[in-house]
A and B are shown apart, each in its own frame.
Chain A
Amino acid sequence: MGGDRITKGLLFSSSLVLLLLSAGMIFTLASGAIPAFREFGGRFIFSSAWDPTPGKEQYGALAFIAGTMLTSLLALIICIPMAFSASLFVSEYYKGTRIASVLRSLVDLLAGVPSIVYGFWGFYTLRPLIMKTGLSDQGFGIFTASLILAIMIVPYATSLSSEIISMVSTEMKEAAYSLGATRREVIFNVVIPSAMSGIVASFILALGRALGETMAVTMLIGNANIIPKGLFSPGNTMASVIANQFGEADGLKMSALIAIGLILFAITALVNALGKVIIKRFA
């Protein structure tokens, strides 16, 4: 029986690794963020100052929190019609057919493209298009970044919502058809209401993805440490400011960047938890 005990011990200790890892991460982020919070207190979250000049250093996260929220929410809004059509295509209109599985694989492929390739592609193809519209001189900014982000999160939203839509009971749909409903009416009166919570959860989880996306956004958002003034204004997100400035940072600035990391961690964890709770509760 000794072998059994060793195996079980081994399994348990590997699960401990996960526990220690998570605890260690939170502890490390929190302790790294202490100097910034001690220096600026609550102002750190509500100030948009970002001045690394030695002697009068001022750091605040508000501009980056705003940048992250704006890009992610806009990306979500752009993503909703795309993911919604793709899920209905796969799980309702062409359910079980070859064309549905082709579409599903194509959407899945979008999830496999590395973030840096999206950024690079966006830089050379999307940015010139946006410059042509005349809405932005350089083509960088919130809108460009959101557009790429939307494409990047579509597969995550689609895979979950199409799964939920395909689980809607056939009896209910057939009942509606037998009353003479058209397909559109069945979708709006039966499918969507019964799959609503799952669809919402899938979009919340996709939002969680968008919040932490780094490379593509860094390459397209224009990297200005200000609260974006409009959709075509440049900005910075929490992830992109870390990617841009962490390498040359030390002292208080390093701590400020770690504090931004901690805030980002908290926001994504909350958003993901919300998505998971909705799925567990209703779907």
Chain B
Amino acid sequence: MGNILADNINRRSKRNKRFKGLIISGSIITVIPIFLIVINLIIKGVRQINLSFFTETSPDTFQAMTATANGEVIPGGIANGLVGSLIMVLLASALAIPTGLMTGVYLYENKKKRYASVIRSLTDVLQGVPSIILGIIAYIWIVKGVTRGYSALAGSIALAIMMLPIIVRSTEETLSMIPVQIREASFALGVPYYKMMIKVLIPCSFSGLATGILLSLSRILGETAPLMLTSLGSPGINLNIAKPSSAVPLLIWDFYNDPNMVSMVWSASLFLMIFVLSLNILSRSISKNRKYI
């Protein structure tokens, strides 16, 4: 009898250990890709990154081919993509951040209203919409309807629609963590509503709001699919938002499709990833060091 029990315990503890080993190895396998991707990009991409990588526009196929044939670094850089990305992201932020913040505040103030819960569900739906569909929408609305041709404006609209739900939800969630007493205290002093919002709600929840905004930015910076249908790309720097414009992810796509440019893809991807990941890490570290909440 005692023997059987000991046997049983042995077997159970063995299975227990085996399972733990399984979980640990599964977790290690899960994070291996991030190391592989980062290491791969650094090894193959760092060679091309120099000052001219940021100041010159993208090379054409012929230049790239000659350079590769002579074993030189491909001339040119991603300046047209950088400028395009900057313009589109700024424009998208200008559209989405104020609207998103205000909608978030509205949802927070009108929690129980039926209308608010409809808006909340729509935000969820919007957040789940695949980005390529936002590309179709911006194409129909802006490329066909407004600018009569591919344009940076259309790209910005697609990106803005992507940012909006992220900001709305993070704003509402952040605000709902502020203690009610802080609001009530300012109302008790007779502060008008908008002042309470600007002087109390927003400062108190600043880090949370910043996290949401940075997260939404890091989401749209790497977006390629909607831009393929809207801003298309351009070989030179373009400052006119009614004209086609390049963006860093679009350049990666162009480089990828050109067999002479392979080393440019690695560098541009490396740059884009470092940029997006740092935004990501920054936003998470802000949310960790929150003061009030």
Residues of A at the B interface (CB closer than 8 Å) are: 1, 3-4, 6-8, 10-12, 14-15, 17-19, 21-22, 24-25, 28-29, 32, 81-86, 88-89, 93, 103, 105-121, 123-125, 151, 154, 158, 182-185, 187, 208, 211-215, 218-219, 239, 242-243, 246-247, 257-258, 261, 264-265, 268-269, 271-273, 276
Residues of A within 8 A of B26 (CB): 81-82, 84-86, 89
Q: Are B34 and A114 in contact, with the CB atoms below 8 A?
A: no
Contact B125 A219 (CB under 8 A): no
Alpha-carbon gap, A247 to B116, bound state (A): 38
In the complex the two chains form, is B15's CB within 8 Å of A184's CB?
A: yes
A89 touches B27 (CB 8 A): yes
Known: A3-B192, A82-B29, A246-B136. A214 touches B41 (CB 8 A): no
Q: How many residues of B contact A (CB 8 A)?
A: 82
Write the B114-143 contact mask toward A (1 if CB under 8 angstroms, else 0).
011011001111101111110111011100
Contacting pair B119 A121 (CB below 8 A): no
**B102, CB-defined interface residue at 8 Å:** yes
**Bound state CA distance, A201 and B22, in angstroms?**
23
Chain A residue contacts of B33, Cβ below 8 A: 110, 151
Per DSSP, chain B at the interface is helix
Min CB gap A277→B, angstroms: 11
Residue of A nearest to B265 (CB): A120
What is the CB-to-nearest-CB distance from A268 to chain B, in angstroms, rounded to a whole number? 5
Docked-complex contact B29 and A21, CB < 8 angstroms: no
A129 to B: closest C-beta gap in Å: 11
Q: Is B122 touching A83 in the complex (CB atoms < 8 A)?
A: no
Q: Any chain A CB within 8 A of the CB of B106?
A: yes
Q: Which residues of B contact A (CB under 8 A)?
A: 12-13, 15-16, 19-20, 22-27, 29-31, 33-34, 36-37, 40-41, 98-99, 102-103, 105-107, 109, 115-116, 118-119, 122-126, 128-133, 135-137, 139-141, 161, 164-165, 168, 192-195, 197, 218, 221-225, 228-229, 232, 249, 252-253, 256, 265, 269, 272-273, 276-277, 279-281, 284
User: 15 additional contacts, CB 8 Å, given A114-B276, A183-B19?
Assistant: A11-B102, A25-B129, A32-B136, A85-B22, A85-B26, A112-B279, A113-B276, A114-B269, A116-B224, A116-B253, A182-B15, A213-B130, A215-B253, A242-B135, A246-B228
Determine if B164 and A18 form an interchain contact, defined as CB atoms under 8 angstroms apart.
Answer: yes
State the 6 A-B residue pairs at the shortest beta-carbon distance, nearest first.
Answer: A212-B130, A114-B222, A85-B26, A14-B102, A112-B280, A272-B128
A114-B221, A117-B272 in contact; A154/B30 too (CB < 8 A)?
A: yes
Q: A4-B193, A7-B194, A112-B276 are contacts. A272–B24 as well, Cβ < 8 Å? A: no
Contact, CB under 8 Å: A183 / B20: yes
Q: Which of chain A's residues have a CB closer than 8 A to the CB of B24?
A: 85, 89, 93
Contacts of B280 in A (CB 8 A): 108-109, 111-112
Contact check, B106 vs A11: say whether CB atoms are below 8 A apart: yes
Q: Whose C-beta in chain A lies nearest to the C-beta of B37?
A: A121
Q: How many A-B residue pairs have CB under 8 A?
A: 246
26 contacting pairs across A/B (C-beta < 8 A)? A3-B192, A3-B194, A4-B192, A4-B193, A7-B194, A15-B119, A18-B99, A22-B126, A28-B137, A85-B29, A86-B30, A86-B31, A103-B31, A106-B34, A109-B281, A113-B34, A116-B222, A120-B265, A154-B30, A182-B13, A208-B128, A213-B130, A214-B224, A239-B130, A269-B128, A272-B128
- B193, chain A: closest CB distance, angstroms: 4
Which listed residue (A29, A103, A113) contacts B27, Cβ 8 A?
A: A103
Q: CB < 8 Å: which of B20, B105, B128, B221 contacts A268? A: B128
In whole angstroms, what is the CA distance A158 to B249 when docked?
27
Q: If A11-B105, A117-B222, A120-B256 touch, does A82 touch B30 (CB 8 Å cutoff)?
A: yes
Whether the pair B27, A272 counts as a contact (CB closer than 8 A) is: no
Closest residue of chain A to B257 (Cβ to Cβ) is: A219
A11, B100: Cα distance in complex, Å? 10
- From residue A188, how far is it (CB to closest CB) to chain B in Å? 9
* Closest chain B CB from A79 CB (angstroms): 9
Q: A3-B194, A214-B225, A268-B129 are in contact. Are A15 and B107 (CB under 8 A)?
A: yes
The interface residues of chain A lying within 8 Å CB-to-CB of B119 are: 15, 18-19
Q: Please, which residues of chain A bring their CB within 8 A of the CB of B40?
A: 121, 124-125
